[in-house]
Structures are given as structure tokens and as C-alpha cells.
Amino acid sequence: MPISDENRKLYLNQAHALLDALESGSMDDAGTVLDDLTRLRETGLFQELGKLTRELHDTLRNFQVDARLSELTSSEIPDAKERLNHVITMTEQAANRTLSIVEQTFPRTEQLEKRAGELKAQWDRFRNRDMKVEEFRGLSKEIDEFLAWTADNATHIHHGMTEVMMAQDFQDLTGQIIRRVIKLVQEVEDGLVGLIRITGRTVKKEEEPTGQRDIVAEGPQVPKVGDTTKVVSGQDEVDDLLSSLGF
Amino acid sequence: MKILVVDDFSTMRRIIKNLLRDLGFTNTQEADDGASALPMLKQTQFDFLITDWNMPGMQGIDLLKAVRADPELAKLPVLMVTAEAKRDQIVEAAQAGVNGYIVKPFTAATLKEKIDKVFERIEAGG
């Protein structure tokens, strides 16, 4: 423990007094001097302890008023959880959307295969001249129906494929959300490293949370996160807003 | 009709390219942010630009502003297809001179409708 010049003088004086007392054989005086020395030492300890307590208190208080930190803990980390939950929801929806279309499409392709197989067998008989005129009339009608039905099926399958393709937009949207969370994790990591570095020292108070920011990209909106009144709920509201601006 | 599609996610570029092909636009090229898109726009004649907003590097809004500031490109029709859904952002894009604004997730029908609208207005001379 470092001691001040003043304290050093006090210790020195007491030491001289102790020596004098012992040399002169006065044990009572020596005892008094030892008591004083002990008190002197305890006072120093208490002062040091007090100083440490105060520093700790200041550090904790500064920590609470560190604007960025409180912003992180009070809103951004809960937001990040909400964002990641939203990612789960979106990927689940995309998977279900895709699977539903695939399930709807399979019966169509199976039917197509089956019907084409049946007609092929009859067509082969016709080509081998193994078919009566009456029967051919029936086949001709069936082929006619099959072609119309095939065209209709192709349209359905095409729509289904477009739908499957659109469902893949989750990759972009969730990717943007996850990137934002990664940025937050990075910031928390940097904060923790900083915290370790400043332990015992006072934290510099940073500027207030940035309420007014320039317009920056934020990625997809997440339900229950942020001020939803500032956000459009869909393309209709975008169109309304733009038409109010003369578009 | 030559179209440049700008988005940092390749899946989204593929989706937009496929939708465009379905609509009959087969001549498309891709860029992954504004910084790579701008030289392409300056080098070759494009008729239409479809861009995302939020991209690392040069963002879509800055690409839009750069296009409008360049006398050679200023008249290029620009459609934004983005997840950015704040009113302030839409106003900002409108003020920067965007021709159409679509929020993700969007549908094939919305893309068709907005492209048609952009060209209708251009043909009408406004």
C-alpha cells in the first residue's frame, strides 16, 4: 500500500518514540506507542477501502448512465430475440408454402403420367390398325379432352412453380434480419471487451441515444419491434403514400 | 428492353429475373450493389433499373441519386424493390426521383403492375 510523506513522517516519529521507550525500559509507554501505530495503520486501511468503495460505486453509476448500454439492454437485445423469432416464423412459412404446393402438384403429374400411358396404349393399337372406327371416334374425343386438360394442368403447374419461387424470398428477408443481429452481437462483444479494459476506472459517458437519425436502411420490418406507426403495412399503403406525393 | 437487377442476395436476383422472364423480359443483367451497378449502367445502355435499397457497399438509394445526378442516366426509369417499409424512407425515395416502389415480400402480380405503370407514365410523357 503506498503511503504519503505525511504518513511516513507519522510512522517514523512513532518508531523513534517506540525505540526511546524500549531503551529507557518504559514498557507502558512502548505499549501506548504500539497502540497508536496500530490505529494509524487501521486508519490507512479504512481510507483505502473507502476509496475503493467509492470508485466501485462511481463505476456502477456511470455504467447505468452509459446511454448506448442502456439502449442495448432495454431495447436492442429484446428486439434481437424478436427478430430471430421472426426468422423462425418466416422460414417455417416458406417451407410450408413450398411443401403445400409440391403436395398439390404431385397428384397432377401422377394423373398426367397415368392418363398419357393409357392413351399411348390405345394410340399404339390405332397405329397398328388394331382399332375399329367406332372405337377410334371415342379415342379421338379422349385425346381432345386430354390435350385441353394437359394445357390446363401446365398452367396450374406453372403458377405453382412461380409460387414456389416466390417463397424463396425468405432467404433475402431473413438474411437481412440476421445480419442486423450479427451486428448487434458484434457490438455487445466489443462492449464486453471494453468493460474488461475499464474495470476499476470510470466509464466515459457517451452521447444520448440517437433519437433523430438520418434515413438509413433498416432491413425488413419485424412485428412488435420498433415504432410500427412509422411503417407501412403493405404495398397498398406504399401506393397510397406515393399517390399522396403525386405519383 | 434491357434491364439491370441490383440486389445483394442472389436468390432475390434469381426470383426477379425469373419473374421478368415470365413477363417477357429476357434481356436482364445482375449486380450485387450500387458500386458494381453504376459502372455497368454507364458502360452499356440499359432501359430499366430494378434495385434493392439495403445493400453492403453502395446502397440503392445512393445508386438512385447517382443515376439522377448523371446527365447520361438521369432519365432511366428506376423501380425500387425493397424491404424498407418506413414512410420516411418511401418519401425519401420519391423525392430522389424513384419511378416505382415495391415492398418485400411482394407478388408476381405486383411486379407486373408496377412495371406496366412505370412505362405507361413514361409513354404518356410524364
Could you report the per-residue pLDDT of A44-69, keeping only the tens digit for each?
788 888 888 887 777 666 655 567 77
Q: Which residue of A has its CA nearest to B21?
A: A162
User: How many whole angstroms separate alpha carbon A140 and alpha carbon A133?
Assistant: 10
Per-residue pLDDT, averaged over A63-77, amounts to 74
Selected residue of A159, A179, A212, A215 to mutate for chain B interface (largest B Cβ count, 10 A): A215
**A245 touches B at CB < 8 Å:** yes
Q: How many whole angstroms from its chain centre is CA A172?
A: 16
Q: Which residue has the higher pLDDT, A50 or A212?
A: A50
Closest-CA distance of chain B to residue A84, Å: 17
ipTM: 0.73
Count the helix, strand and coil residues of chain B and give each as a percent rounded to the nearest 5.
45, 15, 35
The closest of B93, B12, B96 to A238, measured between CA atoms, is B93
Closest-CA distance of chain B to residue A104, Å: 20
Angle CA A10–A15–A20, to nearest 5: 130
Q: Mind listing the pLDDT tens digit for each residue in A117-170?
A: 999 999 999 999 999 999 999 999 999 999 999 999 999 999 999 999 999 999
Residue numbers of A between 97 and 136 with CB closer than 8 Å to B? none
Instruction: Quickly tell me which residue has 451486428 as its cell.
Output: A183
pLDDT at B125 over 80: no
Q: Mind listing the pLDDT tens digit for each residue in B107-122?
A: 999 999 999 999 898 8
Share of chain A above pLDDT 90, in %: 42
**Nine cell digits for residue B102:** 415495391
End-to-end, the C-alpha distance of chain A in Å comes to: 75
Per-residue model confidence (pLDDT) at position A209: 54
pLDDT at A188 over 70: yes
User: How many whole angstroms separate alpha carbon B33 and alpha carbon B66?
Assistant: 13
**Nine cell digits for residue B97:** 426521383
Q: Mind listing the pLDDT tens digit for each residue in A9-30?
A: 888 888 888 888 888 888 888 8
Sign of CA dihedral A180, A186, A192, A194: negative
Per-residue model confidence (pLDDT) at position A167: 94
Residue pair A116/A147 in contact by the 8 Å Cβ criterion: no
Cβ contact (<8 Å) for A217 and B53?
yes
SS3 of residue A1 by DSSP:
coil
Chain A residues whose beta carbon lies within 8 Å of the beta carbon of residue B55: 217
The one-letter code for the residue type at A134 is: E
Sign of CA dihedral B86, B89, B95, B100: negative
Q: Are β-strands B3-6 and B48-51 bridged in parallel, bridged antiparallel, or unpaired?
A: parallel
**Nine cell digits for residue A39:** 490505529
**Nine cell digits for residue B72:** 447520361
Specify the pTM: 0.68
